Amino acid sequence: MSYLDSYYARTLADDRRRPALDGTAEADVCIIGGGLAGLTAALWLARAGKSVVLLEAQRIGWGASGRNGGFVTPGFATGFDHIARIAGAEQARALHTLSIEGVRLIRETTEALAIPGTDPVPGIVSALRHEGADRLMAQRDRLERDFGYRVEFLSRAEVQERFVSRKYFQALRDPAAFHFHPLNYLRGIAAEIERLGGRIFEDSAALAHRLDDAVKTVATSRGKVAARDVVFTGGGYIGRLVPELARSFLPIATYVMLTEAAPERIATAIRTTDAVADNRRAGDYYRLVDGGKRILWGGKITTRLSDPGDLAERLRQAMVATYPQLDGLKIEAAWSGQMSYARHLMPQISRLRPHLWYATAFGGHGMNTTAIGGKILAEAITGESDRIRLFAPFGLASTLGPLGRAAVQLTYWTLQAQD
């Protein structure tokens, strides 16, 4: 399987293929899924001296992690107050602090490994599409008071200097958040795992398993892995491999497009290297790529997983609704990806039973939380920490059955109707 056509696949720093698993491999830990969750867990396990085999059904970063918007910002797919209602205010603060650590983790890993082609650019703006200066200033003050985390308030005039659109009002700018090339990042981590002795197999979907014995086995079409611990990190693509997990999340699709190169035209609209997301739940998020020559624009969510035929046109219309001056700009590629959402909208990170782990449901705000989720899962497996207990209030809530289906519908409406 090849990568689908995206900006990231067009600008790979290295395109080395990994072999498919053939025969039997043994390891301390077998990880299923080579997205950000699985690779980060594998990296930290390998660093802790564990032998690791990672199975990826397609290619490294083929799923959401290698085709997303590339925004790395603190927070979760749901807001602080919602988290506090379920877990309590103190735990919600600990979780937010963890999400800040997730941002730092990606930045530091990128730098420490000098991963080529990641192109990190600091600065993410979260903009309102309605008047709300007081609310934003209160939010800025709360972040500084509760977390010592500094963001900048931008007035409407300051926002419109950067983003020349009448749609925007005030904004908060996070100078510590950044945007980057996620697929090159993942491939860089994969290379580091292999340097440390870990083995990665592409085109190697886990198809069956025996998980009740002390040594568990996971079978692919041409081989099998025998391991003491097994980790499921298949994101929105895991399907029905593990029934308990399949029941507990809803795959949701979201979309991204890439414009043609037209730097002068684009500069009439976007005059900053900062990325921007508007504050609607399924709102627009976009940034300049290719040295400012193109726009990478994301938005929309659907429960329908097959791509609409007019995907590129729908995204183009969203762009032109914000920037009429960009009407006529051509779209060169458009693609979708699947995220996994739990009913409570929070990641699910825990173990099903001893030596059987999962980290999934990272939703649409997943880069920071998926990275830190993978790391704390590795810490749980090695016994270094039990930080995964922070996610204990967010268990495997079923999305099946009449009540479950109603909850799923509600979740979806919550996501979409917050526009």
For ligand FAD, which is the closer residue by CB, 80 or 362?
362
> Of 226, 252, 408, 272, which is closest to residue 337 (Cα–Cα)?
252
Beta strands 121-127 and 275-278, pairing class = parallel
Beta strands 121-127 and 171-179, pairing class = antiparallel
Q: How far apart are CA 11 and CA 183, in angstroms?
A: 9
The tokens for 56 are 């990826």
> Of 201, 209, 202, which is closest to residue 231 (Cα–Cα)?
209
Q: Which helix (H) or strand (E) holds 331?
A: strand 331-341
Interacting residues of 39 by C-beta distance below 8 A, sequence separation 6+: 54, 60, 61, 65, 186, 189, 190, 193, 374
> Of 269, 227, 169, 252, which is closest to residue 355 (Cα–Cα)?
227
Helix (H, G, I), strand (E, B) or coil at 50: coil
Q: In whole angstroms, how close is the CB of 126 to ligand FAD at the nearest point?
A: 12
For ligand FAD, which is the closer residue by CB, 103 or 390?
103
For ligand FAD, which is the closer residue by CB, 125 or 160?
125
Q: How far apart are CA 192 and CA 330, in angstroms?
A: 38
User: Measured at CB, which residue is nearest to ligand FAD?
Assistant: 366
For ligand FAD, which is the closer residue by CB, 52 or 160?
52
Q: In whole angstroms, how close is the CB of 7 to ligand FAD at the nearest point?
A: 11
> Of 308, 309, 328, which is closest to residue 317 (Cα–Cα)?
328
For ligand FAD, which is the closer residue by CB, 32 or 52?
32
Beta strands 23-32 and 171-179, pairing class = unpaired
C-beta separation of 273 from 286 below 8 A = no
Residues contributing to the site for ligand FAD (CB under 6 A): 32-38, 55-58, 62-65, 67-71, 205-206, 233-238, 241, 254, 256, 298, 337-339, 360, 362-367, 370
Helix (H, G, I), strand (E, B) or coil at 238: coil
For ligand FAD, which is the closer residue by CB, 160 or 333?
333
Q: In whole angstroms, how close is the CB of 375 to ligand FAD at the nearest point?
A: 13
For ligand FAD, which is the closer residue by CB, 350 or 370?
370
Q: In whole angstroms, how close is the CB of 145 to ligand FAD at the nearest point?
A: 25
Q: In whole angstroms, how close is the CB of 121 to ligand FAD at the nearest point?
A: 13
Q: In whole angstroms, how close is the CB of 305 to ligand FAD at the nearest point?
A: 11
Q: In whole angstroms, how close is the CB of 236 to ligand FAD at the nearest point?
A: 6
DSSP state for residue 29 in the 8-state scheme = E
Q: Which helix (H) or strand (E) holds 175?
A: strand 171-179
**What is the CB neighbour count within 10 angstroms for residue 212?**
8
For ligand FAD, which is the closer residue by CB, 168 or 362?
362
Is 15 buried (19+), middle (13-18) or exposed (0-12) by CB count in 10 A?
exposed
Q: How far apart are CA 358 and CA 258, in angstroms?
A: 33
C-beta separation of 377 from 41 below 8 A = yes
For ligand FAD, which is the closer residue by CB, 51 or 65?
65
Q: In whole angstroms, how close is the CB of 93 to ligand FAD at the nearest point?
A: 20
Q: In whole angstroms, how close is the CB of 218 to ligand FAD at the nearest point?
A: 8
For ligand FAD, which is the closer residue by CB, 160 or 237?
237
Q: How far apart are CA 153 and CA 170, in angstroms?
A: 8
Q: In whole angstroms, how close is the CB of 133 to ligand FAD at the nearest point?
A: 26
